[in-house]
Structure 1
């Protein structure tokens, strides 16, 4: 069944203004204008982020939802996919953010607007731990796009996290997937089965 509602979840210290989010938004607007697109600015609290995400998609048709998540957004997208059974694309997804983000407790800025600050609180680590989804009920509905050259996350952990899922493993590359539009967008869009 084709996707009519698409959710995009950005990574840590990122925003809906990230390069990949803008590429996806432009593609959906130009090629799939009938698809409902939502890329929320996520709050620093993982629990608040997930509560807002699930509230935002509550009235979406369950069998026509898909989600794309990058880095920490990939971790959140995994949780959404486990909760709803929806199709998901995970771009260099965070696998153990409760471990990896512990060193970022404190004042942080956004990549795309360094003048914007937020405080990453110690209790957010426990919130991340509680959001770990466990094995996916429908691994075939989740595609992981993983770059071996990711300078932030370990590609081996990312690939091991999604057994039974289609995997697009990139030799080289980087955490941002700088070649997303030219090298990966078509494969992502094909997997999402967007309507229109």
Structure 2
């Protein structure tokens, strides 16, 4: 292996998500020299951030300068945190922007539909998200959004990443329908191919 790409899934998601699977199959078939990593993240954002941070550090030791990130939804937020912390390129799919500003309605009990794990979010989780906030360096990012995202307002991502490479599609949904159309371009943007 000569490089690595980390896919960071969103809240209430897992490595079994469709986009994670599509990217993994593409990397295995088209870029067998690239290690594809999809961690199963903790449901609490602070723990998830610590997991991703440790994984990024481990990958940078193995592949100095040859690591890219792909993040979806809250995973897009975490990818942004890591991209700024470690000077990495990232592709973001319908990313959450400043999730601490809207996450209060998630306080309470949840079940991850992929894993069946029950968990609770509290004010400490919102505070953890607030403490992670960063300002993006435009050249690091390619942001893909679909206007009919039923979970997040795509315009927030356009404002936050306004000077980055942006792809805006009419219709679609929060899962970003047709993500597989972009797989070759994702690897090109990350400069791992």
Same fold (TM over 0.5): yes
Cα-Cα RMSD: 1.5
1:27 & 1:140 partners in 2: Cα distance? Answer: 25
Q: CA deviation at 1:69?
A: 0.2
Counterpart CA distance in 1 for 2:113 and 2:20 is: 14
- The runs of 5 or more residues in structure 1 that have no matched partner are none
Deviation of 1:45 after TM superposition, in Å, equals 2.5
- Aligned match of 1:144: 143
- In structure 2, the residue corresponding to 1:126 is in which secondary structure? helix
1:188 maps to which residue? 186
How far residue 116 of structure 1 moved from its aligned partner, in angstroms, is 2.6
Tell me the residue number matched to 2:130: 129
Match of 1:94 among 65, 76, 96: 96
Q: Which residue of 2 aligns with 1:9?
A: 8
- State the shift of 1:187 in Å: 2.6
Structure 2, unaligned runs of 5 or more:
none
Map 1:37-186 → 2, pairs under 5 A: 37-59=36-58, 60=60, 61-113=63-115, 115-134=116-135, 136-137=136-137, 139-181=138-180, 183-186=181-184
- Structure 1 residue 189 displacement after superposition: 2.5
Shift of 1:132: 0.7
Runs ≥4 residues deviating over 4 A: none
Answer whether contact 1:62 1:84 (CA < 8 A) is retained: no
* Count of matched residue pairs: 189
Match of 1:23 in 2: 22
Determine if contact 1:5/1:37 at 8 Å carries over to the other structure. Answer: yes
1:112 CA drift (Å): 2.5
DSSP-derived class of the 1:52 partner = helix
- Show CA shifts across 1:46-104 (max 9, x none): 22212221111213234111000000000000001111111100000000211222111
CA contact (8 A) 2:66 2:192 kept: no
Verify the 8 A CA contact 1:62 1:86 in the aligned structure 2: no
CA distance in 2, matches of 1:107, 1:133: 28
TM-score by length of 1: 0.90
CA pair 150-80 structure 1, distance change in 2 beyond 3 A: same
